[in-house]
Chain A
Amino acid sequence: MSKLGNLGARLHRGEISYDFIGHRKLWYGISILITITAIVGLAVRGLNMGIDFQGGAVFTTEKTSVSVSQAETYAEDASGHTAVVQKLGNGTLRIQIAGMDTTQSDEIKNKLAEDFKVDPEKIAADLVGPSWGDQIANKAWQGLAIFMVLVVIYLAIAFEWRMAIAALVALIHDITITVGIYALVGFEVTPGTVIGLLTILGYSLYDTVVVFDSLKEQTKDITKQTRWTYSDVANRSINGTLVRSINTTVVALLPVAGLLFIGGGFLGAGTLNDISLSLFVGLAAGAYSSIFIATPLVADLKEREPQMKALRKRVLAKRAQAAAEEELAEARGTASDGSEEATPAVVGPRATRRRPSGKRR
């Protein structure tokens, strides 16, 4: 811990910091690049929609000795459609038959049971009509839209509209990336994926909101001082909450990783795997966007305000003056206090730590 704790302390004191705001163009660029890749991938490759979205059936057998290729033949004979068979971690077979009518399912199931020499009641079946997936997807879109509207309203009230917009952009960014990765890698999209994707909504914002909260607190009296511009303060609040952001992301990702490991390794496929996969991707994107996209975006928007412009001018003027004075002072070889608005603190790094309006955090 001491290493990390130390890092936390140094971040807190501002001894080390990364200029997130200053490099924002770089990160914007990266994000735009990823987003474009995602969109292109989505357009070119499309999403690999699972059975739930096309209609069809998924049968899961008990542990069996029948081989995959054999099972494929059985399934194709029984249904007259192409079948995809997977052997799962626990020795069971998962047989997917797309495009099949649900009304034939019982026949197919019985035939399969005969082929596999098991009791039909021992075969788990998941039959989906062709429009069920659409309904889930439609509802999900609807939920997404409603949530976005509500959350923008909420953030606009709790914080301010600029932050709401930045959060929204970050959110869209996360979802685009996640969907793009699904398109590019070709993961199967199932209702579980949709659940995961929708959870990202809450999570991505959760993270963003914590950073914004600290930003809001630190910039409350920003116009009353002339030391820092909005961007400077924003940068410091990202750095200040960095440890928390990392911890939060790690702690959120760990259980999801557990799910993914168990879902993928033990069960092979299914709801657990689907939810955790999209969550994993989305959480990672969410952590990234709240630090690299949302806050710099707020800073950008804020800097356009006349007040903040004026502040920036004052700050720059002051810095120039201070620099000049320092030069002058050095030239004269006398000590000078430099600034009159705050009590001169101890020399050294502490001066750089001074918070706006002489207040800590």
Chain B
Amino acid sequence: MSWPPARRPGAQRPEREYEKVAAPKRGRSASAQSKPGRSLALILIAIVALTGGMFLSGHTTPRLGIDLAGGTSITLEAKADQGSAINKANMDTAVDIMNRRVNGLGVSEAEVQTQGDKNIIVNIPKGTNSKEARDQVGTTAKLYFRPVLAQDATGPAAPSASPSPSASGSSSASPSPSASKSGASGEKATSSSPSASATTQGRAVTDALKADASPSASASASSSPSPSASSSSAAGNTADAKLQAQYAALDCSKKAARTKAGEGVKPEDATVGCGEMGGVWYKYLLGPAEVAGTEVDKAQAVYNTQTAAGWQVTMDFNKSGSKKFADITAKLAQNTQPLNEFGIVLDGEVVSSPTVNETISGGQAQISGSFTQEEAQSLANMLSYGALPLSFQEQSVTTVTAALGTDQLHAGLLAGAIGLALVVLYLVFYYRGLSVVAMASLLVSGILTYVIMALLGPAIGFALNLPAVCGAIVAIGITADSFIVYFERIRDEIREGRSLRPAVERAWPRARRTILVSDFVSFLAAAVLFIVTVGKVQGFAFTLGLTTVLDVVVVFFFTKPLMTLLARRKFFASGNKWSGLDPQSLGAKPPLRRTRRPAAPVETKEA
């Protein structure tokens, strides 16, 4: 729309002797890239830098999609039948939870992402049991309330950032400042009570649980004793030896160990689990599930204005839940730290472990602590919907065996090679020497595309799938077309009787405009498709858009400067028969008419 683009200030004019003849009326950028070498150097440096980056990052091949690498891809569609709307927040929560679940299967690299506004794609690489994966994803509630039998910090030291006072400013008692023993706490050394980290960022921990009914409740001001020095002993007789050993060995600071912990445990069995609080991973020894997530009617994040306790989460239990909850809180309230806590366990991970200060009957409870609004809401979400805020329906499940994936990849590459070879043959046949320029440009374009794809893998999770390969192959045509537009313009100029160097310069502004206009249309199509569509279409649109942009880059910074340089070579400038620019075979007319025409006074308007 605003072509030609701004002129380069330092642009020198091309040879002028021919310009006088039939200069275009409208001012055009002289466009001479006075320093073609500079552009070439620029793009070469860019290529080298990108390639270097690719090798440095260690991702020398593009990440392959499921259909090329093998694996299972599941597309789920959200259904708004749980009373919650399909919005970004809910979708994000769902993705988060599914991610935890599929990666809990022990596969790394499984990826879960939203697509469009109501789809979630789960990609699981080969080597995983696809059936198990399908069972794991998309099922709802897997949330349990389990009594805490023992609790310890693991991994790196508890935040040295001092013991903080109770999290909630209210009377609701949180344990006294924890006596975190030392920085270099080993597995069992520290019994840093959760309150230690209440002020550090991350999920708030010091969740004191108290009856909802007592806003100012004095009852809750129970003075919980200071944390026991070595909590592991506290578990004592409650858990059997095997579990004890498992617990002792558990190191929650390791991701693999975390996902392994509590895997496949039945609700009625005791288990171990991990939970992150204030940036520190704690391990838990947990009793059998007492209340299931399905027994929570609803949970809400509310801001407590009365006691200035900040954000809290209130829970309403259903009938059976109320009773069970009353029973367990009655039991727990009599215990001492940490046995008076219970863990809210979501898919094996302890998301919160509030202390219980009193029996909570009546089916209403609230969890307070120094929550941020976001934390409170996310906890409330997990509580009310078990795990997933939305229910999901399988839309498509694609399982590709590794063999089929390899076949498809080979077929795609072969098709690309054949397509490329055909295009090159045609270009050589038609453009002779000029095709060298086209081939070099295609090569540059190809390298750039490959390197960028490889880099985009780790950067934005781009995965090359079959439609994307198709897009790249189709793009060969679009890229080659830009050269054709330019070459035809140059030939037209030669037919007008110009010699090569001015022809190259004069053809450029016009070719450039055409290339930009048409590439814009192509890019627009790709962008619209990418934004609007789902599934395979998106991968295709992405490559098409990428290659269109690269096409412009290559034509501007490579093809044109290269052409300018080559125009100075005798082979091309003299119009060698094999150069593809032979004025005779192009049917150029003799430059005779120049003498007959009055020199147009338009030259001043130029540039």
Binding site for B on A (CB under 8 A): 1-2, 4-6, 8-10, 12-13, 52, 60, 62, 90, 92, 102, 105-106, 121-129, 131-132, 135-136, 139-140, 142-143, 146-147, 150-151, 154, 157-158, 191-192, 194-195, 198-199, 201-203, 205-207, 209-210, 213-214, 217, 220-221, 240-241, 243-244, 247-248, 250-259, 261-263, 266-267, 270-272, 275-276, 279, 343, 345-346, 350, 357, 359-361
Asked whether B422 lies within 8 Å of A139 as measured between CB atoms, the reply is: no
Q: Answer yes or no: B429 CB below 8 A from chain A CBs.
A: yes
Chain A residues with CB below 8 A from B533, complex form: 136, 139-140, 142-143, 198
Taken together as a complex, chains A and B put the C-alpha atoms of A345 and B597 apart, in Å, by 8
The 3 A-B pairs of least Cβ separation, nearest first, read A9-B587, A255-B419, A202-B525
Q: Does B476 contact A (CB under 8 A)?
A: yes
Asked if A1 and B416 sit within 8 Å, CB to CB, the answer is: no
B418 close to A262 (CB less than 8 A)? yes
> A262 vs B407: C-alpha distance in the bound complex, in angstroms?
11
Chain A contact residues: helix, strand, loop or mixed: helix
Interface residues of B in 472-511 (CB under 8 A from A): 473-474, 476-478, 480-481, 484-485, 488, 491-492, 495-496, 510
Residues of A contacting B77 in the complex (Cβ-Cβ under 8 angstroms): 129, 131-132, 135
Closest beta carbon of chain A to B13's beta carbon, Å: 19
Contact yes or no, A256 B474, CB < 8 A: yes
A123 to B130 Cα, complex, angstroms: 11
Which A residues touch B22, using CB under 8 A? 359-360
Known: A221-B25, A258-B415, A262-B418. A122 touches B401 (CB 8 A): yes
In the complex, the chain B residue whose C-beta lies closest to that of A7 is: B587
Question: Do B485 and A126 touch (CB < 8 A)?
Answer: no
Cβ-defined partner of A360 (8 Å) among B398, B408, B496: B496
Q: Evaluate contact between A2 and B537: CB separation under 8 angstroms.
A: no
Q: State A161–B507 Cα separation when bound (angstroms).
A: 27
How far apart are B426's CB and chain A's nearest CB, in angstroms?
6
Cα separation A147 to B598 with both chains bound (whole Å): 48
Looking at the complex, which of B237-245, B269-277, B328-336, B588-596 is the stretch in contact with chain A? B588-596
A-B contacts, 5 of them at CB < 8 A, read A5-B585, A13-B587, A136-B534, A240-B492, A276-B470
List 15 extra interface pairs beyond A135-B534, A151-B524, A251-B481, CB under 8 A. Answer: A8-B488, A124-B399, A126-B398, A132-B395, A143-B528, A143-B537, A191-B536, A191-B537, A202-B522, A202-B524, A206-B478, A252-B477, A267-B408, A272-B466, A359-B24
Tell whether, in the assembled complex, residue B540 and residue A199 are in contact, meaning their CB atoms are under 8 Å apart: yes
- In the complex, what distance in Å separates the CA atom of A126 from the CA atom of B395? 11
Verify if B131 is at the interface (C-beta below 8 Å from A). Answer: yes
Contact (Cβ within 8 A) A201 B525? yes
Whether A146 and B532, one on each chain, are in contact in the complex, defined by CB atoms closer than 8 angstroms, is yes
B571 CB within 8 Å of chain A? no
- Chain B residues with Cβ below 8 Å from A52 are 396
**CA of A143 to CA of B403, assembled, Å:** 34
Q: How far is the CB of B54 from chain A (nearest CB, A)?
A: 25
| Interface flag for B607 (CB, 8 Å) | no
The answer for the CA separation of A261 and B417 in the assembled complex, in Å, is 12
Q: Which residues of B contact A203 (CB under 8 A)?
A: 478, 522
B538 to chain A, nearest CB (A): 9
Q: Does B30 contact A (CB under 8 A)?
A: no
Report which of A6, A202, A257 forms a contact with B521, defined as CB distance below 8 A.
A202
Cβ of A258 and Cβ of B517 under 8 Å apart? no
Which residues of the other chain, A, contact B436 by a CB distance below 8 angstroms? none
Q: Given A209-B517, A255-B474, A361 and B492 touching (CB < 8 A)?
A: yes
Expressed in whole angstroms, the minimum distance between the Cβ of A66 and any Cβ of chain B is 16
Q: How far is the CA of A135 from the CA of B117 in the complex (A)?
A: 12
Quick check: is B427 within 8 A (CB to CB) of the other chain? yes
Q: How far is the CB of B170 from chain A (nearest CB, A)?
A: 49
Residues in B with CB closer than 8 Å to A207 are 518
Chain A residue nearest in CB terms to B469: A272
> Do A90 and B407 touch across chains, with their CB atoms under 8 A apart?
yes
In chain A, what residue has the closest Cβ to B3? Answer: A158
Residues of B within 8 A of A360 (CB): 22, 496
* B431 sits at the interface (CB 8 A): yes
CB distance from B75 to the nearest CB of A (A): 7
The chain B residue with its CB closest to the CB of A248 is B481
Q: B529 and A271: CB pair below 8 A?
A: no
With A1-B432, A127-B394, A129-B393 as known contacts, state yes or no: A262 contacts B517, CB within 8 Å: no
- Determine whether B414 belongs to the interface, using a CB cutoff of 8 Å to chain A: yes
Instruction: List residues of chain B with CB within 8 A of the CB of A146.
Output: 528, 532
A110 to chain B, nearest CB (A): 9
Residue of B nearest to A275 (CB): B470
B401:A270 contact, CB within 8 angstroms:
no
Is B467 positioned at the interface, with any CB of A under 8 Å from its CB?
yes
Cβ-defined contact, A213 with B513, below 8 A: yes
Contact indicator B480/A251 (Cβ below 8 Å): yes
A103 to chain B, nearest CB (A): 8
The reply to whether B598 and A194 contact each other, CB–CB distance below 8 Å, is no
Chain B residues positioned under 8 Å from A257 (CB to CB): 419, 422
Asked if B400 is at the interface (CB within 8 A of a chain A CB), the reply is yes
Nearest Cβ distance between residue B526 and chain A, in whole angstroms? 7
Question: Which residues of chain A are near B484, meaning CB under 8 Å?
Answer: 244, 247-248, 251
B477 and A147 contacting across the interface, CB-CB below 8 Å: no
- Pair A267/B476 contact, Cβ less than 8 Å: no
A7 to chain B, nearest CB (A): 9
Contact indicator A123/B540 (Cβ below 8 Å): no
- B107: interface (CB < 8 Å): no
B404, CB-defined interface residue at 8 Å:
yes
Answer yes or no: B535 CB below 8 A from chain A CBs. Answer: yes
Contact A102 B525 (CB under 8 A): no
Chain A CB within 8 A of B177 CB: no
Q: Knowing A62-B401, A127-B396, A345-B593 are in contact, say whether A255-B476 is a contact too (CB < 8 A).
A: yes
Contacting residue for B423 out of A9, A206, A255, A272, CB 8 A: A255
The verdict on B236 contacting chain A, using a C-beta distance below 8 Å, is no
CA gap between A1 and B473 in the complex, in Å: 25
Known: A124-B404, A199-B474. A194 touches B537 (CB 8 A): yes
Which residues from chain B contact A357 at a C-beta distance below 8 Å?
Answer: 25
User: Closest CB of chain A to B378's CB: distance in Å?
Assistant: 29
B1 in the interface (beta carbon within 8 A): yes
Docked pose: A99 CA to B513 CA in angstroms: 52
B430 within 8 A of A: yes
Q: Check if A259 sits within 8 Å of B478, measured CB to CB.
A: no
Closest Cβ of chain A: how far from B79's Cβ, in Å?
11
Q: Roughly how many angstroms separate A20 CA and B263 CA in the complex, as a whole number?
A: 73
- Identify which of A4, A154, A221 gathers the most chain B CB atoms within 10 Å of its CB: A154
Whether A5 lies near B544 (C-beta < 8 A) is: no
On chain B, the residues within 8 Å of A209 by CB distance are 514, 517-518, 521
A343/B481 in contact, CB under 8 A = no
Bound: A257/B420 CA distance, A: 11
Say yes or no: B521 contacts A254, CB within 8 Å: no
Distance between Cα atoms of A129 and B79 in the complex (Å): 14
Point out the residues of chain B lying under 8 angstroms from A4, CB to CB.
Answer: 430
In the complex, what distance in Å separates the CA atom of A213 from the CA atom of B544? 22
A192 proximity list for chain B (CB < 8 A): 467, 536
Closest to A110 in B: B131
Which B residue sits closest to A268, measured CB to CB? B411
